[in-house]
């Protein structure tokens, strides 16, 4: 694979894979802005084949694998030939309805990947919520740039880097600049974070976390209610959560979220150990 240097390379490769497609399959749905950021930071590699295209994105000590193929048989044939699968830690996400993912799952597993995690998407209609202030005069505020390293540290200690698509520092900084990271601080310490992305009439909670020493103080609840109340133009709220994290699922249900039928199977190669 070689470095990807332009967005046009990516979309050109996708179109070439589609041109001969009998049953096009992919796990790559790149937003142009995010794609450009990956390219600018030298994180994206690509490889174009006759009827398929593959991309690797660097993330900490491993890579995310994306594919576009004319059909599942082509995917199954070509994915096995990727040298990186024998030399690098690689994770792959397969998103869709459970009923439609079977063949693609089989193709990816035949290349040596194993199932690692399963996420479900939850959705909530854009109904207003009443904001709630934390106790002791603590406020929910937009994070500032100096909070970036502490936010990264909190996310890395609270989430699974292989399954949860953790952001890089530059992504955190861009989200802070866009006022899409809420923070609750207590006695100068970062107590809770809610990191979201709003585009048009849809808003996605990417991460909602409370530092261990501040749980049971309702800081997380205050951040969530502030977020829901502040996004008055949003008509649909969505998020992803690990399917077997019953505590998190119950908390989201409390705020009106419910499964919408989409799932994300995360698979890893044998260089990623349990």
Which pLDDT belongs to residue 129?
65
Which pLDDT belongs to residue 137?
63
Q: Which residue has the higher pLDDT, 266 or 136?
A: 266
Q: Mean pLDDT over all residues of the chain?
A: 93
Supply φ then ψ for residue 129, to 5 degrees. -125, 150
Domain ranges, ordered by start, for the chain: 2-117, 127-234
pTM exceeding 0.85: yes
Please determine whether the domains at 2-117 and 127-234 fall in the same fold group of CATH: yes
Of 111, 46, 103, nearest to 78 by C-alpha is: 111
Least confident window among 45-54, 126-135, 140-149, 197-206:
126-135
What architecture is the 127-234 domain classified under in CATH? 3-Layer(aba) Sandwich (3.40)
How does pLDDT run across 238-249, given as a tens digit for each residue?
999 999 999 999
What architecture is the 2-117 domain classified under in CATH? 3-Layer(aba) Sandwich (3.40)
How does pLDDT run across 34-86, given as a tens digit for each residue?
999 999 999 999 999 989 999 999 999 999 999 999 999 999 999 999 999 99
How does pLDDT run across 18-30, given as a tens digit for each residue?
998 889 999 999 8
Task: Report the share of the chain in percent with pLDDT over 70.
Answer: 96
Answer yes or no: is pLDDT of 215 > 90.
no
């Amino acid at each position: 694979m070689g470095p990807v240097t332009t967005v046009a390379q990516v979309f050109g490769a996708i179109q070439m894979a589609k041109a001969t497609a009998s049953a096009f399959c992919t796990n790559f749905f790149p937003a142009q802005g995010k794609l450009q950021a990956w390219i600018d930071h030298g994180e994206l590699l690509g490889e174009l084949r006759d009827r398929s295209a593959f991309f690797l994105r660097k993330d900490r000590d491993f890579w995310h694998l994306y594919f576009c193929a004319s059909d599942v048989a082509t995917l199954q044939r070509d994915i096995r030939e990727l040298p990186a699968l024998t030399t690098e830690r690689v994770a792959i996400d397969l998103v869709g309805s459970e009923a439609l993912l079977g063949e693609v799952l089989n193709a990816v597993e035949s290349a040596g990947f194993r199932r690692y995690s399963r996420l479900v998407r939850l959705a909530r209609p854009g109904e207003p919520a009443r904001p709630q202030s934390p106790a002791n005069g603590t406020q929910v505020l937009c994070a500032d740039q100096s909070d970036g390293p502490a936010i990264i540290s909190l996310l890395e200690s609270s989430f699974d880097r292989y399954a949860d698509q953790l952001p890089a520092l530059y992504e955190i900084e861009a989200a802070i600049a866009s006022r899409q990271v809420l923070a609750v601080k207590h006695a100068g310490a970062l107590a809770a974070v809610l990191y979201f992305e709003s585009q048009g009439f849809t808003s996605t909670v990417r991460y909602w976390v409370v530092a261990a020493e501040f749980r049971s103080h309702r800081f997380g609840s205050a951040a969530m209610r502030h977020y829901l109340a502040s996004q008055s133009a949003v008509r649909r709220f969505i998020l992803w959560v690990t399917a077997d994290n019953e505590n998190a699922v119950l908390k989201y249900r409390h705020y009106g979220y419910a499964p919408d039928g989409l799932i994300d199977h995360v698979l890893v190669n044998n260089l990623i150990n349990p």
